[in-house]
Amino acid sequence: MAICAVIRRIPKGWVATYGQVAAMAGMPRRARLVGYVLQNLDPAVRIPWHRVINAKGEVSCSLSRNGGDGLQRTRLEKEGVEFDERNRVDLARFRWLD
């Protein structure tokens, strides 16, 4: 799948937005599809899903993620991605530009 192929290319310590991933996968304006794919991802599929965040630079929080939002932030911080006082990533600094 093109979405997973793009996400696999995001380097450690960098992030991409849902919309950015969609556009790079040849599906512009399909950010929600990226979210849907990630939410329904088979756990056996090994991709760095935690590197995909929303367009505001935030980890998207949802009850359906079963705590995955906290795990996502922890993984990003371990890779050196920093969050500000509003719990946002500076996209000008950490956004991956392929």
Q: What are the chain's domains?
A: 2-94 (1.10.10.10)
| Mean pLDDT, residues 51-75 | 81
Mean pLDDT of the chain: 92
DSSP for 38-75 reads HHT--TTS---GGGEE-TTS-PPP-GGGTTHHHHHHHH
| Mean pLDDT, residues 57-77 | 78
Per-residue pLDDT reduced to its tens digit, 42-59: 888 899 999 999 999 999
Are the CB atoms for 39 and 63 separated by under 8 Å?
no
Alpha-carbon gap, residue 81 to 37, rounded angstroms: 23
Are the CB atoms for 97 and 11 separated by under 8 Å?
no
